Structure 1
Amino acid sequence: MRIALGLATMGGLLCASAAQAEMAIALVSPGIYRGPAPQCADDYRQLSRLGVQTVLDVRSFRRRQRERECACLKSYGIAYLNVPVSFRPQRDGSAERALRVLRDAERRPIYIHCEYGRDRSGLIVGLYRVRCEGWSLRAAYCEMKRFGFNSRLRGLERYFWECARR
């Protein structure tokens, strides 16, 4: 079976228009969403339809992608913040900076992402669950794993277990 795809472009981004599934966005709490990095015009439209006011990108590399994302979001009237979270957040306080942004009600509705929406964003959402919503460490960690958190990223996992209750 052959499927024809129509392609749309925006800011140099190609996207399969009709046949592509929507970006996997999950509601964390009222006004807070999480998922992967937006890749194409359809993804930016989806964020706009949700009423997202701010996108929090916690990737620590890929400068050109960040610049492109910032320009695309601006065209939809969505603010872009990059708070790079390293894979060793104990050393640089990066996870705490990202969590402060996520907690800021003035920036909501907010969408947090890293590259795939699993590891760095999973850590920040896990910290939010424990510190702001009173979740147990175990419940928050189970949710992190359900969203694909990679426990082999020892720096992120260690930070969660050692620092979530601060």
Structure 2
Amino acid sequence: MAMLSGKGQFWVCLVVVSLALQATAVCGDTARKLNVPGVPRFMQITPHLYRGGQPTEEGFRSLARMGIGIVIDVRFSRKRERDLVTRLGMQYVPMHWFCPFPKDKVFERFLLLLRRNPTTKVFIHCRLGDDRTGMMIAAYRMAEQGWTAQQAWQEMKASGFAPWHHLACPGLAHYEKEFPERYRTKKAFQELRLPDSKKEASADQ
């Protein structure tokens, strides 16, 4: 087996380090688990994006004290939650869908909302904070942060998506796997793919 010269070894090491740094840049921004009273499975995704399970009334008060500006509910719209969130000074945004049947349009709405509110703290929840919420965050990771489907899937599992979810949400794993291709090709995401869509979204504020 031929040995590399000192110069060759240097360039090999440089490539390896470069690839490692790129991987860290993509996956370094992993979710942080935080203890927030009244909010199960609470995690910080970015300084402006948070996730969790169904908050109690105390939980919504905790979110308001944290400075959350928008609460996204992927469950059925409930007047009591809407009224409480509004009374606490936050905006209530329903984005309902069934976990066995993910719809591109819901994810398009979610991603557009985040782009149009880049400095607003957003909290998204379902009932348990692991399946539907996990898929929404996975979509954000892939569309906005350049994660691969495998990287986003690993985070979904680490954040609570367990084997039994494959029975409750049989189509979710497949949708997650094919999301990068759907994002590149489906009409629902056309606006998000426009080169200047981020600038235009910011200009709308």
**TM norm structure 2:** 0.62
SS of the aligned residue for 2:108 comes to helix
Where does residue 166 of structure 2 map in the other structure? 151
CA shift at 1:163, angstroms?
Answer: 1.8
Where does residue 105 of structure 1 map in the other structure? 117
The correspondence of residues 76-115 of structure 1 with structure 2, limited to 5 A, is 76-87=88-99, 88-90=101-103, 93-106=105-118, 108-115=120-127
SS of the aligned residue for 1:96 comes to helix
* 8 Å CA contact retained: 1:53, 1:107: no
Is the radius of gyration larger for structure 1 or structure 2?
A: 2
The partner residue of 1:50 within 46, 66, 70 is 66
Aligned-residue Cα RMSD (Å) equals 2.1
Higher helix share: 2
SS of the aligned residue for 1:23 comes to coil
Q: Deviations over 1:137-156 (max 9, x none)?
A: 11111111111122331222
Aligned length: 141
**TM norm structure 1:** 0.76
Same amino acid, percent of matched pairs? 33
Q: Note closer, same or farther for the CA distance 1:143–1:118 as it changes in structure 2 (3 Å cut).
A: same
Q: Does 2:50 align with 1:37?
A: no
What 5-or-longer segments of structure 1 have no aligned partner? 1-19
CA distance in 1, matches of 2:145, 2:178: 18
CA shift at 1:26, angstroms?
Answer: 0.7
Query: After TM superposition, where is structure 1 displaced by more than 3 Å over at least 4 residues in a row?
Result: none
What 5-or-longer segments of structure 2 have no aligned partner? 1-35, 184-205
* 8 Å CA contact retained: 2:73, 2:96: yes
Higher strand share: 1
